[in-house]
A = this chain, B = another copy of it.
Amino acid sequence: MSEVINKSKLAKQAAQAMGNLTTEQKNAALLLMADALITEQQAIIEANSKDLQRGKEQGTSASLLDRLALNETRIAAMAEGLRQIAELPDPIGDTLESFDRPNGLRIRKIRVPLGVIGIIYEARPNVTVDAAGLCLKTGNAVVLRGGSSALFSNEKIVEVLHTALERSDLPADALQLILSADRSSVDEMLKLNGLIDVLIPRGGHSLIQNVVNNASVPVIETGAGVCHTFIDQSAQLDMAIRIGINAKAQRPSVCNSMETLLVHEAIAEKHLAAIADAFQGVHVELRGDDRSRALVPSMLVAEQADWGTEYGDYILNIKVVKDLDEALAHIRAYGTMHSECIVTEDAANAEKFLQEVDAAAVYHNASTRFTDGFEFGFGAEIGISTQKLHARGPMGLPALTSTKYRVYGTGQIRE
């Protein structure tokens, strides 16, 4: 039996017990896990240094090495994350609907764990802790398949967490780490219907597309964000610039940052130079359409492919549009249904934008950077779903749950 099948079977067996844990048991385990990370931090840092060493030898980029690196501060943050998960309300067992039928049947829709969650991710070892904590709190077992570049770190972290689970009398098998760095171990997970209930890919475009395109296990797709901000004719200019700068430049590498600014022609004619100045002042490279470049010749040319590109960098496309409808059409053509914003003082235009734009989160007069589980007040974030099934937008703990109908009868049969 392969490592993936063997560990997924163990996870499935453990999932049964996980679903029956009390909130107190789960929270106690989360706190012990947090303590164990601190107690064992030197061992974790040592394991991590082996990953870093190998990464350097293989010529890994400085930014990837930075994401991979662990130190006392980062381990403390991971432990604090677990403590915060312990503080969150436990969604399992909640009654979501309750209805009685004329024949006397009492039907209750109850929140239950998903079962076994498969998480496929890349370099960052904090995902290992995060995923273990979120899945534990929701009564799920989890099969982790992290990137090979973090294997020593992940193995040590999981060993530490296993010890804490055992000390809590919880089934350590509920947390599984796939050690095989071979691509075939991912391929195998994608097809494990019956053992894995849901797959969540976390990482770059090609990782996510591989999972979406090849999995027969249901997937929650997260990721790509080509987000727009539309400055309408009636926008307050200072607010529009403040929101735009925040959406682009506060943290360009994340999926809820802006890639394209759409500017109403009436605003553009008067103020595009000032808008461009503001972005260039925070070192954003601008790429414009013909109308933008006629007004601000210092912009580069936005090529056709640029409109659909998630730069994740200090680069911004700018397009002048005739009106709201042209902005809507552009977003329909190039958006990834993630986060979209209109800055306007016109209530009817705001309503039309929020109604017609098909995206996980639509904003009136606020930065798209708020599409985030913590900013939404969920206290945790599994990721941001960009699909329409099951969960859409920032996912809190309930996204890791399913439901079950409990039906109470007194001998009813169907006529």
Contacts and interface: CB of A to CB of B under 8 A. Distances in A.
Contacts of A239: 411
A402 B388 contact: yes
Contacts of A213: 191, 193, 216
Contacts of A19: 356, 358
Q: Chain A binding site: helix, strand, loop or mixed by DSSP?
A: mixed
Contacts of A245: 413
A412 B101 contact: no
Q: What's the number of copies of this chain in the assembled complex?
A: 2
A138 to B, nearest CB: 12
A198 B242 contact: no
A365 B216 contact: no
A158 interface: no
A20 B388 contact: no
A67 interface: no
B405 A362 contact: yes
Nearest to A104: B366
A283 interface: no
Contacts of A362: 404-407
A271 B408 CA distance: 25
A387 interface: yes
A388 B216 contact: no
Contacts of A193: 212-213
A354 B406 contact: yes
Contacts of A394: 405
Interface string A368-399: 01110001110000000001111011100000
Interface string A238-258: 010011011000100000000
A377 B414 contact: no
A91 interface: no
A94 to B, nearest CB: 14
Given A218-B218, A246-B414, A393 B405 contact: yes
B392 A389 contact: no
A162 to B, nearest CB: 24
Nearest to A109: B393
A197 interface: yes
A70 interface: no
Max count, chain B CB within 10 A of own CB: residue among A236, A355, A407, A412:
A407
Given A363-B407, A364-B406, A392-B404, 15 more contacts: A101-B377, A197-B389, A213-B216, A218-B389, A220-B389, A243-B411, A246-B414, A354-B406, A358-B404, A361-B405, A361-B407, A366-B408, A370-B414, A371-B405, A389-B390
13 contacts: A19-B358, A105-B366, A114-B388, A115-B358, A197-B389, A212-B216, A362-B407, A363-B409, A366-B411, A367-B412, A371-B405, A389-B402, A392-B405
